[in-house]
Structures are given as structure tokens and as C-alpha cells.
Structure 1
Amino acid sequence: MATQHQPGEIAVQERAGPTRRASHAPAGIGDTIPPVAVAFLADQPVIIVGGTDRAGRIRATQPTGAPGFLRVPHPGTLCVDALPIPEDPPAELLRGRPGSA
């Protein structure tokens, strides 16, 4: 599953200079986690999680844990055994909606 860069992303890449490298990045984006990444993720003490809130604002948070708090039980699933503190604005993005599993 490849993604396209948005016009704003392209403008930033052109100003910063990595446009040629960035043009190859979508080829590395997929919907499964490759085996080599499973071990890498298991060793990490932090992950950056981002998304947009209900108002459309971009939010990011940094859940942390002991190595092993990131698990890949299936190539299409990353389990993060940590949540941000409730006061962290992105926390609502990770709680899910009422009635969701």
C-alpha cells in the first residue's frame, strides 16, 4: 500500500533538499510489519503515535515502557502495552470510541 506525498510535504522536502530520497519512501510503506522489524520493535523503549483529533488538529504522544512493551502478534498488528496519561491531548485518540472493540 503506497501513499502519495501531499503538496505541503513536497514543498518542505524541496526546501530541505531530500526530495529524491523522499520519492522512494512510499515503496517502503506497507500494511504488514516485516520480520526484521518485529525484533527491532521488541527492543524499543518508546514509540511515537500520532493522529488527528476531532477538531482536525494533529496530535502526537510518546508512550514508553520496558523493552517488550511493543509486540507484533500478527504481521498486520502492533500491540502497544502502554497508554499516555489521561491529560495528554492525544490520549483520546488511543482510547477508541464507545462501542468499539
Structure 2
Amino acid sequence: MITLNLDPELENKIQQETKLNGLSVEKYISLLIQESLENKYIQQSETLEYKAGEEKLNQFINRSVDVSIQPLSDEAISRENIYTREDKML
């Protein structure tokens, strides 16, 4: 059991909300707390996913590059070789 000492103004607002929603004060406060905790866990999960994605991106950016790879020739990246006859048909 938990006892709360609420500001009278807050208590009145809670009582008004419970009447509008047809809930007891206990049930209303319980639902608010449960929703708050669920939102907190969702935010923490999203933060962890963001940090994991950020870490993967940093690893990709900072990976070692194979310097033996040769750049493409001018011919390979010429307009004629990029755009084929099939592209003209579209």
C-alpha cells in the first residue's frame, strides 16, 4: 500500500478526471503510473536502439579500408557505359 499526500489542486484535478472516465481514484492513478512506466521503458529501448545503430555507423566509418582496391577507370564511369540503350527505351 502506498499513501500519497497530494496538493489539494492536483487532488481536485484527479477527482475530476476520474469522474469523466468513470474510474476510481486508485484505478486512475494506477493506470497513469503504469502508462508512465511503459513510456519510460519504450524511450529507454529506443535510446538503446539509437545508440546501437550509432555504434554500428561509427564502426563502419572507422573501419580499415583495403588500399589495394583500384579506382574505376574513366571508361568504366563514362556516360556511354553508365547509360545503356535499354535506358533510352524507357
Instruction: Calculate the TM-score normalised by the size of structure 1.
Output: 0.23
Higher helix share: 2
Larger radius of gyration: 2
Instruction: Calculate the TM-score normalised by the size of structure 2.
Output: 0.25
Higher strand share: 1
